[in-house]
Chain A
Amino acid sequence: MTIGERNPEPHNPLGMDGIEFIEYATSQPQAFGALLQKMGFAAVARHRSREVMLYRQGTMNLIVNSHGTPDATPAVSALALRVRDAAYAHKHALELGAWDMPTRAAAMELNIPGIHGVGDSLIYFVDRYGDFSIYDVDFVPLAGLDAHPPALAGLHYFGVVQSIMSERTRDWVDFYRHLFDFSVLPRGQYFGVLPKGTLLESACHKFYLQLVEPPEGAEDVHWEEGLARIGLGAPDVPAAVRALKERGIVFIDHGAVQPSDKGALTQFYLGGVTFELVVSHLNA
Chain B
Amino acid sequence: MNLERFGMDTTTLAGPLEAKLRAVKAAGFTQIMLNSSDIVGHPEGEEAALAAVRASGLRATGFQVLRDFEGLSGHLHAYKVDVAKAMLQMCNALGSNILLACSSTSAHASGERELLARDLQKLATLAVPLNIRIAFEALSWGRYVSEFTQAWELVQEADRANLGVCLDSYHIIATRTELDGLQELDPHKVFLVQLSDFLWQELRSPEDRIDTARHYRVFPGEGVHSTELGELVRQIDEMGYRGDYSFEVFNDDYRNLPLPMVCERAKRSVKWVSDLVSRRSLPPRRTGTLRT
Q: Which residues of A pack against B, CB within 8 Å?
A: 95-99, 116-118, 165, 168, 170-175, 178-179, 225
Contact = CB atoms under 8 A, between A and B. Distances in A.
Interface in B103-125: 121-125
A97 B131 contact: no
Given A118-B129, A171-B128, A97 B161 contact: no
Nearest to A100: B85
Closest 4 CB pairs of A and B: A97-B125, A170-B161, A97-B122, A97-B126
Contacts of A99: 85, 126, 129
Given A170-B161, A171-B128, A225-B131, 11 more contacts: A97-B124, A98-B125, A98-B126, A99-B85, A99-B129, A117-B129, A170-B162, A171-B131, A174-B124, A175-B129, A178-B125
A53 B123 CA distance: 37
Interface of B is mostly: helix
Interface of B: 85, 121-126, 128-129, 131, 160-162
A171 B123 CA distance: 13
A178 B121 contact: yes
Nearest to B119: A97
B89 to A, nearest CB: 10
A242 B121 CA distance: 48
A101 B125 CA distance: 15
A197 to B, nearest CB: 15
Q: Which of B123, B129, B131 has the most CB of A within 10 A?
A: B129
Contacts of A97: 121-126
Contacts of B121: 96-97, 178
A174 B129 contact: no
A174 B123 CA distance: 12
A117 B131 CA distance: 12
B39 to A, nearest CB: 20
Contacts of A116: 129
Nearest to B84: A97
B131 A175 contact: no
Given A99-B85, A170-B161, A175 B128 contact: yes
